[in-house]
Amino acid sequence: MALAVTSSSAVHSSSLSSALDQTRGAQFGTFQPSDRPHLPSTSVNFSRRRCAVKPLNAESKRNDSIVPSAATLFSPAEVIEKVEVEDYEKLAKELENASPLEIMDKALEKFGNDIAIAFSGAEDVALIEYAHLTGRPFRVFSLDTGRLNPETYKFFDEVEKHYGIRIEYMFPDAVEVQALVRSKGLFSFYEDGHQECCRVRKVKPLRRALKGLRAWITGQRKDQSPGTRSEIPVVQVDPVFEGLDGGVGSLVKWNPVANAKGNDIWNFLRTMNVPVNSLHAKGYISIGCEPCTRPVLPGQHEREGRWWWEDAKAKECGLHKGNIKEENLNGNGNGAVHANGTVTHADLFNSQSVVNLSRPGIENLLNLGNRKEAWLVVLYAPWCRFCQGMEESYVDLAEKLAGSGVKVAKFRADGEEKAFAQRELQLGSFPTLLFFPRHSSRPIKYPSEKRDVESLLAFVNAIQ
């Protein structure tokens, strides 16, 4: 997929300083756009959580992720010092009362070309305007599910022309979409929930995109969704997705408008004369795919227009699954609350390619000294966010290994099974991955925190 350079227009440092002063405390629409010409950024300060940042020079390393098309803006000589591990909880507290513009500027300053704005085609165009106002180069990507409204596609084009940028589009895997539609039809989500369709059309493409980044910027706000977004910090280590370096903690998530109200965002957009999706004038507020989005009535919450046939407290497509806290889980694949107040959690790794092992099943596998096939087993707990985060990778791995002589399985090891798993299955924390070779009774524990398909496949191939 060819990707063009995404750039921003530059704003003089004095203009930015003035804009920052005027937007302290999340005030909107008080600063004026600059009409100065484009000025290239002279230095960029990147940061990483674990080690020094290396020059951006390996497109092959990023595979099908959003490739650093803006890398041409920076010369290899513009270096990059080693940065200490960042305490993002502390940084979130420091920026709690900062304006969206100040937060955006900090994000772009820290991560330069290794960060990108996730643009959905709705009011999060405000993020692009903030990035434009900083005067720093910035990148924008979007998920084209193939089922967006015509108005949204037209809006994408308007945004590109208005800011002089190229949006980096991510598309779902055609084979996976074909298999889903052939097996379940075009509108199965009305009957069994939107999670499966969103996984294929949105979550998996997003996962590929984020594997090419060290940070991303979202338009999440605390007032957007009851039960799932009320405690969003302005910056956090992403609890679900992995970044370029792989493993837990390898991706940082910035939410510059987390503390903003919807009305403030709209006042800002009108003041700055920013292009908006024409669907908004027709009653649409939260905009997603055409079959799953409808206008809302006056007084209705904006998320009432998304997946309206499902529970209002669980309206997440999976892109921000880490928002969902245990006490808020409810229905539609996100868990359920019983009348007595206890919470159950939706199971993970549901696929025909993943064998669900019971206690007798895992004991038999453990006791076999001469297996006909090798087995890879994940010990998991449905409530564990790290297990949730590796769900897509593990299911993909199972599909890749189908017919290879390696069985892929899961064993729920929390609750009453936890003591057994700790004693007999080397369970230390969730998830734990064990490989059972064909001709050995002793399982081999996967030692790495990298749980992407490539890393897991390399582990299996190395020891089977």
Strand pairing category for 343-344 and 252-254: unpaired
Position 338 in a domain:
no
Last residue of a domain, one of 261, 279, 297: 279
Distances from the Cα of 99 to the Cαs of 65, 116, 138, 262, 354, in angstroms? 30, 19, 18, 15, 46
Position 7 in a domain:
no
Position 141 in a domain:
yes
CATH number for position 211: 3.40.50.620
Catalytic residue among 197, 198, 289, 387: 387
Q: Looking at residues 413-426, what average pLDDT do you find?
A: 94
pLDDT score of 426 more than 90: yes
Which range has the top average pLDDT, 6-10, 44-48, 101-105?
101-105
Residues 86 and 172 in one domain: yes
Residue 11 · residue 19 · CB < 8 Å: yes
pLDDT score of 33 more than 60: no
What was the pLDDT predicted at 372? Answer: 85
Give 256 or 347, the one with higher predicted confidence: 256
Residue 348 · residue 382 · CB < 8 Å: yes
What was the pLDDT predicted at 386? Answer: 84
Position 221 in a domain:
yes
* Count: domains in the chain: 2
Quick one: how many helices (H) and strands (E) in the chain? 15, 13
Q: Looking at residues 325-352, what average pLDDT do you find?
A: 52
- Which pLDDT band, with edges at 50, 70 and 90, does 46 fall under? very low
What was the pLDDT predicted at 225? Answer: 57
Give 329 or 274, the one with higher predicted confidence: 274
Residues 208 and 95 in one domain: yes
Position 315 in a domain:
no
Q: Fill in the DSSP letter of residue 293.
A: B
387 is catalytic: yes
What was the pLDDT predicted at 169? Answer: 96
Residues 166 and 272 in one domain: yes
Residues 274 and 358 in one domain: no
Q: Looking at residues 443-461, what average pLDDT do you find?
A: 90
What was the pLDDT predicted at 127? Answer: 97
Residue 382 · residue 412 · CB < 8 Å: yes
User: How many other C-beta atoms can be found within 10 angstroms of the C-beta atom of residue 376?
Assistant: 25
Residues 382 and 241 in one domain: no
Query: Residue 266 belongs to what domain range?
Result: 13-279
Amino acid identity for residue 372 in this structure: K
- Nearest-angstrom CA–CA distance, 141 and 1: 13
Q: Which of 4-18, 37-51, 94-108, 136-150 has the lowest mean pLDDT?
A: 37-51
| pLDDT tens-digit readout, 371-386 | 889 999 999 999 887 8
What was the pLDDT predicted at 66? Answer: 54
Which range has the top average pLDDT, 114-123, 241-250, 288-297, 338-347?
114-123
Positive or negative torsion for Cα 315, 320, 326, 332: positive
pLDDT score of 233 more than 70: yes
Residues 271 and 361 in one domain: no
Distances from the Cα of 456 to the Cαs of 111, 160, 365, 393, 452, in angstroms? 28, 38, 20, 9, 6
CATH number for position 438: 3.40.30.10
Residues 192 and 76 in one domain: yes
Q: Which two tokens stand for residue 64?
A: 């099908």
pLDDT score of 104 more than 50: yes
Residues 372 and 249 in one domain: no
- Which pLDDT band, with edges at 50, 70 and 90, does 222 fall under? confident
Last residue of a domain, one of 279, 296, 331: 279
What was the pLDDT predicted at 236? Answer: 94
Position 298 in a domain:
no
289 is catalytic: no
Q: Is the pTM of this model over 0.75?
A: no
Give 325 or 87, the one with higher predicted confidence: 87
Q: Looking at residues 6-10, what average pLDDT do you find?
A: 44
Q: Looking at residues 113-133, what average pLDDT do you find?
A: 95
Last residue of a domain, one of 235, 251, 279: 279
User: How many other C-beta atoms can be found within 10 angstroms of the C-beta atom of residue 93?
Assistant: 13
Which has the closest alpha carbon to 412: 361, 364, 461? 361
Q: Looking at residues 210-215, what average pLDDT do you find?
A: 95
Share the mean pLDDT of the chain.
77
pLDDT score of 434 more than 90: yes
Residues 255 and 364 in one domain: no
Which range has the top average pLDDT, 24-28, 90-94, 182-186, 388-392?
90-94
- Which pLDDT band, with edges at 50, 70 and 90, does 451 fall under? confident
pLDDT score of 230 more than 70: no
Phi, psi at residue 215, to the nearest 5°? -160, 155
Distances from the Cα of 109 to the Cαs of 47, 78, 103, 451, 458, in angstroms? 9, 14, 10, 29, 35
- Nearest-angstrom CA–CA distance, 150 and 160: 16
What was the pLDDT predicted at 32? Answer: 37
Give 238 or 11, the one with higher predicted confidence: 238
Q: Which two tokens stand for residue 145?
A: 């599910």
Alpha helices, H only, 313-358: none
- Nearest-angstrom CA–CA distance, 313 and 152: 26
Residue 289 · residue 146 · CB < 8 Å: no
Distances from the Cα of 386 to the Cαs of 1, 78, 129, in angstroms? 31, 36, 34
- Nearest-angstrom CA–CA distance, 233 and 259: 8
Residues 365 and 257 in one domain: no
Residue 195 · residue 180 · CB < 8 Å: no
What was the pLDDT predicted at 304? Answer: 74
What was the pLDDT predicted at 295? Answer: 85
Give 39 or 156, the one with higher predicted confidence: 156
Q: Which of 102-106, 114-118, 345-349 has the lowest mean pLDDT?
A: 345-349
What was the pLDDT predicted at 60? Answer: 34
Q: Which of 44-48, 315-319, 389-393 has the lowest mean pLDDT?
A: 44-48
pLDDT score of 435 more than 90: yes
Nearby residues of 458 by Cβ (< 8 Å), 6 or more positions away: none
Residues 267 and 365 in one domain: no
Position 237 in a domain:
yes
What was the pLDDT predicted at 28? Answer: 37
Position 349 in a domain:
no
Residues 258 and 126 in one domain: yes
Q: Which of 76-85, 116-125, 282-291, 388-397 has the lowest mean pLDDT?
A: 76-85
Give 249 or 63, the one with higher predicted confidence: 249
- Nearest-angstrom CA–CA distance, 123 and 269: 8
